[in-house]
Structure 1
Amino acid sequence: MTETLHSEFLAQAVKNPEATAVLSASGAVTYGELNARSQELAERLVADGAGPGVPVGICVERTPDLLVAILAALRAGSCYLPLDPNYPADRLAFMVRDSGTRLLLTTPASRASCPPGPTVVVLGEAVPTGSGAGPVAVTTEPGARPVAVVPEDTAYVIYTSGSTGTPKGVAVRHAGCVAMLAEMDRVLEGCDLSGVAAASSVCFDMSVMEIFNALCRGGAVVLVESAVHLPESPHADRITHLNVVPSVMNGLLDAGAVPPNVRSIVFGGEALRRKLVDRAYRETGAVRVFNAYGPTEGTVFCSFGPVPEDGTDEPTIGPPTATDRVYVLGPNLERLPAGEAGELYLGGVGLAHGYVNRPRTTAERFVPDPFRDGERMYRTGDLVAFTEGGELRFLGRTDHQVKLRGYRIELEEVEARLTGCPEVREAAAAVLGNRLVGYVVPAGGGAAPDGPRLDAALQSAVTGRLAAELPDYLVPATLVVLPALPLGPGGKLDRNALPEPPAADTSGPLTAASTPTELALAEIWGELLDLEPSGIDVQAAFYDLGGDSLLLVRLARLMTRRFERRVRVPDLFSFRDIASLARWLDDESGATPEVVRSARERADARRGPLRGRGGAGR
């Protein structure tokens, strides 16, 4: 059997068909069931034109159908294009159009999120009758048999943030995926992989680690909506292995929400600090902690190693993997000795094909390898140095790419989107702590001449517009209005001179919650922010009160549950304070839900007289 990303899953399905493959809120699915369903769908896809080099879009919510769809696309010989149903419609439409995707898998629940254009195959929906256009079910007679896949074929295409203002698709090979799985076997030898949490969006390549490390090794994938939903999973106690972004882990530890039987943790996507490693060992059942590093262009990771419990130094990003060529090079592409900082270049089997429909960008980043005739290496833009022990230490970037919650962000893309707003003349962006901050010079002037300021109306207009176009991690949490951007001697933006966002004005009188919906929202905000609901100003933004991007996800979830209607993170960028959120909820619902009335009764029972701003925090 040719080794592919999914070939070991097929072997596991034959060997242990009754074993549990997927655990989710909707129940358990065995290897045999997942095998049969994905095979039937693969045959349907081949009949519809799937095959090597043909991308198949996957726009499916986080249920077992997601894995059925991904495996079916791979078994049909195609590569899969992940399309998160929670992404804005414009972003999904661009990814489909740019990749040339003409075939798309979805479910009835996610059908409305699918971009126009491709032929849509809807899992589990009845076959339409007659000759009219309509969704195609997967219960039709099987078509042609899936074609063979070779290691050089593309397995998936993942879109990353682009420095030109538009995202770019990275085409990753099956050969790189197989090498990645083999490296995980080597590094994680002895770890209990019987229950691997799958909490990452499929648009983030950590999801490949989560899904296939379990399915190709006989373990169970424990599907959850996101990492902040881990404690809600009915199968949380089955999770033994967790891949997680450091900032997310901090939030889980703060909430006491790490699954109780986790025994191994792999960190990735952001810089890892010793303090967090110590917390992970001390506050969880983990006996082994690892740190992994790598760009999407290098197939998930290119360095991966254990972080010992008794260490005192800041963690490295591990030693290079056995299947990657890793160079630390100077400005003339000369090799640098241990301890000397240089740019990291990658070669080897994990190297992606390049960027979809971006020959110039591919040529700029995937350059000839001066040490291997006829081969290429990828310029990562990361500054690193080898330690004397052969591990890599991450030192920073050579450009303006940053990481936030594990997602790769090109600040130039955020800046291009900001300046594309009619309210903005010039813009800059930066990551401060765990939040993305935008700096704007308004199109009509009006910025305070004496320094930076906040403008709630401008913030709402701009971020509301961006939230309709971009994933939430690319939307600035805070917008700072400047009279002019700081410039260096050469007339270019001086990023180091961008100021800290000013504190929100707290000098005015408190505007306390008064309507039933406002009172219910104040109760939710108080729970998340550890504030007394009666002391929360309904005109204060969530971020100004101490919220962050992870709490925003929890806020959307709690509001969805409390108000019995879907609230998305982009909605919370459009309506940033309790007053505007309450008006939106009341206008959209047409009536005050009973649940709001009950929340008001609970609030009235405990809050007593409304207090001033001095009681807002503890």
Structure 2
Amino acid sequence: MRPAANTLHGRFLEHAAKTPDAPAVFCDAGVLTYGELDRRSALLAEQLMLQGAGPGVVVGLCVERAANLFVCLLGILRAGASYLPLDPKYPDERLRFMVRDSGTGLLLTTPAARDRCPEGPAVLVLDGDSVTVVPGADGGRPVATVPDDIAYVIYTSGSTGQPKGVAIGHGNCAAMLAETDLLFAECDLSGVAAVSSICFDLAVMEIFTPLSRGGGVVLVDSAVHLPESPHLHRVTHLNTVPSVMAGLLDAGGLPPSLRTVVLGGEAVRRRLVDRVYRETRADRVFNGYGPTEGTVFCTFKLVPPDESGEPSIGAPSSTARLYVLDERLRPLPDGQPGELYLGGAGLAWGYVNRPRLTAERFVPDPHLDGERMYRTGDLARFLPNGELEFAGRADHQVKVRGYRIELEEAEAWLSGCPEVREAAVVVHTAEERPDAASLVAYVVPNDLPDTAATGSGPWLDPALQSRITDRLNELLPDYMVPETVVFLAAFPVSPNGKLDRTALPEPPTPDTPLALDAPTTPTETALAELWGELLGREPRTIGVRDAFYDLGGNSLLLVRLAKRMSRRFDRRVGVSDLFRFRDIESLAKWLDEDGGDATPDAVAEARRRASARRSVVRGRGRPAGG
């Protein structure tokens, strides 16, 4: 293997030298060529090395999703350092912990994200091609990057109540890129959509697979913003989770140029694959599986359009070793489920500053002397054709909209709230919204109301829930904050005295009183009807100052809302508009000022559709004719 192919960024440098005028990044601000990205990242690398960046040094990366993101990523890697992604949208405490835990002493940011950087480390501010150092120290000469050097550190949810950093080496990344060469050899990578936060390892494949092949990256804020990208027509390849793909299909937000879809992070169902083939021009749909500890993925399945049954997660990649083992680490026969263990070229070095946890999860491989394997905690079985079928989890780790969450971590933070005596968190999927799983917290409050007694049923308390979730929002990323908090006088327990999660009751139906600030204009009325359709609520319970998210909405529903509003009001409405105008009052004012009042026909149509939907909901579960 040539030296450039041994690192995460080396093959980008080869393409930049050969085709400097080729487009590398498409973003809202324009196009960045390979030559421009090469020049700017080289200049930045020099500045980073002057500040002491190099092998063994972790550089925090706190930037907005713009062209400078790519300059920063490549600048850190070219300096020989490893990058620690820090999402500016994360709570302050989360960012402080990641910086402190990883030992990061140097942060790279931009003027737009400067105020989100935790205090302590030296800060470099990249503004165009210029770099401001606050403060710093002279560093030594650069050292060439080798495969054993760490390329990045990504923090994942941890069962101890704190996130844990996974350290991935350049050699691990090189093996992943070699495998994508084989998998996507016949795929068009001229427009790979970058929709994942760099705090998640899928972003590594989204960004560096095309840049290692001379392709282009289409950068958007997130998958839900994809339909409004000015470069939507360039998108040929999309990696995303099934729930997001379902939302994009519902909204008709996928481009005709799309040819390859990679699904992962959640169970992939046949009905969704069929929809992708039927409703887009994609000719390849992949199902991928892999933990962060295995460098993005370790199995892949090309799901053909004419195959029956639910898709498997595919066969092990050429660089991975996968075992299905019993509790004594003995291989199980085909068809018998057991815990999935992972080894091979993609296996991570371990967890940062967690020697005990590293020893627990990265164990000696009894089947290959001198090698290690990772206990994934996933259950799987080998099929006769050599593919693997996912069979669930052996612990309390879950995936919600593709985000990896350890329930113990969410419970630990919840238990730290002063209002909470005991806490449990589970994943809940409502019957009317099967594609939108959510976190539900069960809480025994410190101050029980007089009416509560052991054995009494669950109840909701909006004011108490608000106090708890407001505190959690200051500590956790939004995807880890439960959407609903159910209160109990006592938890159900099993015969051995432990929490019986299977006996936790269904969340009660909220008591939704009539809104005090009811809609007064035709546009407000039409919007309340649209929100009611999507949220499963009576429109008269929705006030004009209610925010969509506060009523149970999420980013996937925003995609559908934008599409329905565009159709109803005969004007383009994007997800970014719905982030700007979060309640009905401001949204209606924007619509009326820019496009005139909603027509009576629009209001009548909204009411008709909402009424039809309520009839369907009321009729669920009733005998025919009853």
Give the alignment's TM-score, normalised by structure 1. Answer: 0.88
Structure 2 counterpart SS, 1:70: helix
The letter for the 1-side match of 2:227 is P
Which residue identity is paired with 1:44?
Q
Aligned partners of 2:270 and 2:282: how far apart in 1?
15
Residue matched to 1:417: 413
After superposition, where does 1:231-270 map in structure 2 within 5 Å? Answer: 231-270=227-266
CA–CA distance in structure 2, aligned partners of residues 94 and 259 of structure 1:
40
Taking the aligned partners of 1:594 and 1:168, their CA distance within structure 2 comes to 45
**1:196: how far off?**
0.3
Whole-Å separation in 2 of the counterparts to 1:102 and 1:384: 41
Q: Which amino acid aligns with 1:409?
A: I
Contact 1:184–1:213 (CA<8 Å) still a contact in 2?
Answer: yes
Instruction: Tell me the distance in 2 between the aligned counterparts of 1:157 and 1:318.
Output: 27
Deviation track 1:15-39 (CA, whole Å, cap 9, x = no partner) reads 1100000000010000000000000
One-letter code aligned to 2:371: E
Quote the Cα distance in structure 2 between the aligned partners of 1:276 and 1:559: 23
Indicate conservation of the 8 Å contact 1:519/1:600, yes or no. no
Deviation of 1:113 after TM superposition, in Å, equals: 1.1
Corresponding residue of 1:588: none
Residue from 35, 40, 43 that aligns with 2:43: 40
| Contact 1:42/1:146 (<8 A) preserved | no
Partner of 2:553: 547
Find the counterpart in structure 2 of residue 327 from structure 1: 323
Trace 1:215-234 onto structure 2 (pairs within 5 A). 215-234=211-230
Q: What are the ranges of 5 or more consecutive residues in structure 2 without an aligned counterpart?
A: 430-436, 563-572, 615-626
User: Quick one: structure 1 residues 127 and 12, their matched pair in 2 at CA, closer, same or farther if it must change by over 3 Å?
Assistant: closer
Would the aligned equivalents of 2:66 and 2:219 in 1 still touch at CA under 8 Å? yes
Find the counterpart in structure 2 of residue 318 from structure 1: 314
Per-residue deviation at 1:519? 4.4
Aligned to 1:74: 77
Deviation string, structure 1 residues 385-426 (Cα, Å, up to 9, x no partner) = 000000010001110000111111000011111111111111
Q: Say which SS state the counterpart of residue 127 (structure 2) adopts.
A: coil
Matched residue, 2:469: 463
TM superposition shift of 1:428: 0.5
> 1:208/1:414 Cα in 2 relative to 1: closer, same or farther (>3 Å)?
same
How far 1:560 sits from its partner (Å)?
6.5
Judge which range, 538-547 or 258-267, deviates more: 538-547
**Aligned mates of 1:545, 1:523 — CA distance in 2:** 12
- Distance of 1:348 and 1:380 partners within structure 2: 14
Structure 2 counterpart of 1:425, which letter? Answer: R
Partners of 2:329 and 2:524 lie apart in 1 by: 62
Alpha-carbon distance in structure 2 between the residues aligned to 1:135 and 1:218:
37
Matches within 5 A, 1:260-299: 260-299=256-295
- Which letter does structure 1 place at the counterpart of 2:341? Y
State the Cα deviation string for residues 262-281 of structure 1 (Å, max 9, x = none). Answer: 10111111111111111111
Give the match's secondary structure for 1:503. coil
Q: Look up the SS of the partner of 2:72 in the other structure.
A: helix
Shift of the alpha carbon at 1:237? 0.7
Partner of 1:52 in structure 2?
55
- AA matched with 2:258: V
Is the contact made by 2:122 and 2:134 (CA closer than 8 Å) also made in structure 1? no
Q: Would the aligned equivalents of 2:47 and 2:131 in 1 still touch at CA under 8 Å?
A: no
TM-aligned CA distance change 1:596 to 1:118, over 3 Å? farther
Query: Is residue 40–residue 129 contact of structure 2 (8 Å, CA) maintained in 1?
Result: no
Q: Which residue of 2 aligns with 1:20?
A: 23
Partner of 1:92: 95
1:98-137 correspondence to structure 2 within 5 Å: 98-124=101-127, 134=134
Which letter does structure 1 place at the counterpart of 2:504? L
Q: Which amino acid aligns with 1:115?
A: P
Contact 1:338 1:386 in 2 (8 A): yes
1:520/1:49 Cα in 2 relative to 1: closer, same or farther (>3 Å)?
Answer: farther
Distance in 1 (CA, whole Å) between partners of 2:279 and 2:303 is 16
Distance 1:528 1:475 in 2: 24
CA contact (8 A) 1:525 1:555 kept: yes
| 3-state SS of 2:441 partner | strand
Counterpart contact for 2:458–2:508, Cα < 8 Å = yes
Q: 2:577 aligns with which of 558, 561, 564?
A: 561
| Deviations 1:111-151, CA, capped at 9 Å, x for gaps | 1111111111111179799xxx8478xxxxx9866420110
For residues 219-246 of structure 1, the C-alpha deviation after alignment (integer angstroms, 9 at most, x for no partner) is 1010000000000100011010110101
| Residues in 2 aligned to 1:200 and 1:315: alpha-carbon distance in whole angstroms | 23
Alignment of 1:472 onto 2:478: yes
1:441 corresponds, among 441, 444, 454, to 444
Report the number of matched residues: 587
| Greater mean deviation of Cα atoms: 596-605 or 264-273 | 596-605
| Residue in structure 1 matched with residue 147 of structure 2 by the alignment | 151
Equivalent pair of 1:536/1:616 in contact (CA under 8 Å): no
Q: For residues 292-340 of structure 1, what are the alpha-carbon distances to aligned partners after superposition, in whole Å with 9 as ceiling and x for unaligned?
A: 1000001001111201111111111110011111111111100111111
Fraction of identical pairs, as percent: 60
Say yes or no: does 1:350 pair with 2:346: yes
Seen in structure 2, the aligned counterparts of structure 1 residues 524 and 323 have a Cα distance that, compared at 3 Å, is farther
2:540 to 535, 541, 550: 535
Whether the 8 Å CA contact 2:124–2:134 is kept in 1: the answer is no
Long gaps (5+) in structure 1: 137-141, 568-577, 586-591
TM-score normalised over the length of structure 2:
0.87
Secondary structure, in 3 states, of the residue corresponding to 1:415?
Answer: helix
Partner of 1:399: 395
Q: Which amino acid aligns with 1:335?
A: P
> What secondary structure does 1:602 align onto?
coil
Please give the per-residue CA displacement for 1:373-392, whole angstroms capped at 9, x wherever unaligned.
Answer: 22211000000000000001
Whether the 8 Å CA contact 1:241–1:263 is kept in 2: the answer is yes
Q: Which letter does structure 2 place at the counterpart of 1:477?
A: E
> 2:465 corresponds to which letter in structure 1?
Q
- Report how far residue 500 of structure 1 moved: 1.6
Q: Is this contact kept in 2: 1:512–1:534, CA < 8 A?
A: no
- Per the TM alignment, residue 486 of structure 1 is displaced from its structure 2 partner at its CA by 1.5
Alpha-carbon distance change, 528 to 153 in structure 1, aligned in 2, over 3 angstroms: farther
1:426 lines up with 2:422 in the alignment: yes
Pair 1:16–1:293, CA change in 2 (3 A): same
> In structure 2, how many angstroms separate the alpha carbons of the residues matched to 1:407 and 1:88?
17
Q: Give the aligned partner of residue 178 of structure 2.
A: 182
Match of 1:161 among 152, 157, 160: 157
Q: Name the CA shift for 1:611/1:269 in 2 (closer, same or farther; >3 Å).
A: closer
